Structure 1
Amino acid sequence: MREIPPLYEESLGAGAVARARPLVCHCLLIETDTDGLVLVETGLGTADLQDPQRSLGADWVAYARPALDPEETALRQVLRLGYAAADVRHIVLTHLHRDHTGGLPDFPHARVHVHPAEYRAVSDPSAAHHRHSLDRFMPAHRSHAPLLTPAPVPEHAEWFGFPGVARPEGLSCELLLVPLPGHSAGHAGVAVRDGDGRWLLHAGDAYMYHGELDARPPLAHPVLEPVQHGAQTDAAARVTTLDRLRSLKRAHADEVTVFSAHDPWEFARLAGR
């Protein structure tokens, strides 16, 4: 996706070369003992590359300037690891915008888990933001009738003080959908334990640039800030979410690694690890 200039790169460590980096669509692939592969986010899919203007929208393609490289799709990366597409039995999404749902048609048999608030926004005509949310969930990404499933919210469920946490059904691994409202009607982060027992929190589009959480005072990116403002459904909720994520990082840095969907510097750091 389009390149953005550097502003704040302390997270890359001393000696890092400041340069523009292309935005990413940060996905996670989780291997489980009993539930097959779990894919968190899908990025752009192979069908998006064949007819991007129809599948993604001409205006979005002109603005985002996606690389459209088939080797970067989740499907090709799963195949390179020696798996088949059918091995991906579950997909967990932070929300249903086009740059997160493009790979859904590549895994048509997977069950797709979202927070119930996001599910209601696209399935219930009486829900607030229904028309807006359905417009953002691209027809090309749902024409195969994906197995969209709202994750149940157990009573009094919370995670590090975040309320309303949902637990996708059919998964034995420790994975949660953590409400991070503001960007979309039911936007949620995906929290999962890594191999070292630490929590990873994929915060989706709750923020787009690490300076928003790490800098003192917080530093927004001039290229990404108008994107965030244009997409948000609730500005006040998004600001509250950012404050809560900052507090989480300060209080629980030894237990939780927080990262966003599109920050290329965070991606470089985590991929290098």
Structure 2
Amino acid sequence: MRRVRHLNCGTFRARLGGPALVSHVVVCEFEHGLALIDSGIGADDVAHANSRLGVGFRLLLPALDTVETAVEQIGAMGFSAADVTDIVLTHMDLDHLGGASDFTSATVHTSAAEQSSAATRTDAAAKVRYRAPHLRAVKNRTSGYSDFTDELFGFTGHRLHDSICAIPMPGHTVGHCAIAIDDPQRGWLLHAGDAFHHRRAITGQSSGRSISIVETVLADDRRELRLNQRRLADLAARSGGPQIFCAHDPVQFAALVASQVQ
């Protein structure tokens, strides 16, 4: 891996008493091309928001700005959509998978449990989070993994590359994973996806009633969610551990952008 960069690929303004939320996408630059960790909101999502994201999604007040899409931001870096060879997902929710539609030659990686859940669930909650246009776009290029036998940070995971490892972290969804990234400049990072929604979840502080309610409402398994938050808090407290961040915390995102190598 040559370089790691951090992009906001979807702003959400529905945050009472605080800054807008981000959709944190990590760009990993290799000699052979680019790998994305999550993909944010895509160009077609911006153009056809109601049909692709659902009318209810508008309650989050998404910016729906083409400039924020990963494909636009990667283009501004001097790359093309074809340079993205792989997209590694924390999970398949609409705000994490939507941008994959813009990278038609990329292989999409997720856990087998998440792939199965997205493909087979038909309940109302699943229809909100797993959007049919997104799933159709990646149906024939998704690779699901179930062998979590590699050890990292005291966890077991699945190494997709020497520098990228998926660690099962169910709760928000049944097949949710945190993605570890070995940044050549800063050492190990851990993209925890939606395992938590506010940085205080891993510091032992209260993240606030509104955030806790959102986490609870969106969780497939609340017990697993809280268990994994405690595991992440323990990891964050260890000396020499990875830098842990979630998908939507704007303060964590800003700190990583400020410290990234230009």
TM bucket (normalised to shorter chain) is: 0.7 to 0.9
How do residues 5-16 of structure 1 correspond to structure 2 at under 5 angstroms? Answer: 5=16
More strand by share: 2
2:97 and 2:134 in contact (8 A); partners too: yes
How do residues 75-224 of structure 1 correspond to structure 2 at under 5 angstroms? Answer: 75-123=71-119, 125=120, 130-132=121-123, 135=127, 136-146=129-139, 147-153=141-147, 156-163=149-156, 165-168=157-160, 172-196=161-185, 198-214=187-203, 216=204, 218-224=205-211
In the aligned structure 1, how far is the partner of 2:92 from the partner of 2:116? 12
2:13 matched residue in structure 1: 2
Pick the aligned partner of 2:63 from 56, 61, 67.
Answer: 67
In the aligned structure 1, how far is the partner of 2:122 from the partner of 2:174? 11
CA displacement at 1:161 relative to structure 2: 1.7
Query: Aligned residue pairs: how many?
Result: 245
Q: Tell me, what secondary structure is at the counterpart of 1:66?
A: coil
Structure 2 residue 26 is matched with structure 1 residue 28? yes
Decide which structure has the larger Cα Rg and report it: 1
Q: Which amino acid aligns with 1:87?
A: D
2:253 matched residue in structure 1: 267
In the aligned structure 2, how far is the partner of 1:197 from the partner of 1:28? 14
- Computed over aligned residues only, the root mean square deviation of the Cα atoms, in angstroms, reads 1.8
Q: Tell me, what secondary structure is at the counterpart of 2:257?
A: helix
2:44 matched residue in structure 1: 47
Could you tell me which runs of 5 or more consecutive residues in structure 2 were left unpaired when the two chains were aligned.
Answer: 1-11
Could you tell me which runs of 5 or more consecutive residues in structure 1 were left unpaired when the two chains were aligned.
Answer: 7-19
CA displacement at 1:5 relative to structure 2: 4.9
More moved, 195-204 vs 106-115: 195-204
2:43 and 2:102 in contact (8 A); partners too: yes
Q: Deviations over 1:146-204 (max 9, x none)?
A: 411113525x42221223x1223xxx441011111100010000101001361100000
1:115 and 1:166 in contact (8 A); partners too: no
Q: Deviations over 1:7-55 (max 9, x none)?
A: xxxxxxxxxxxxx311000000001123x10011111111111121111
Q: Which amino acid aligns with 1:72?
A: E
2:198 and 2:207 in contact (8 A); partners too: yes
CA displacement at 1:142 relative to structure 2: 2.2
**Runs of 4+ residues deviating >6 angstroms:** none
1:56 matched residue in structure 2: 53
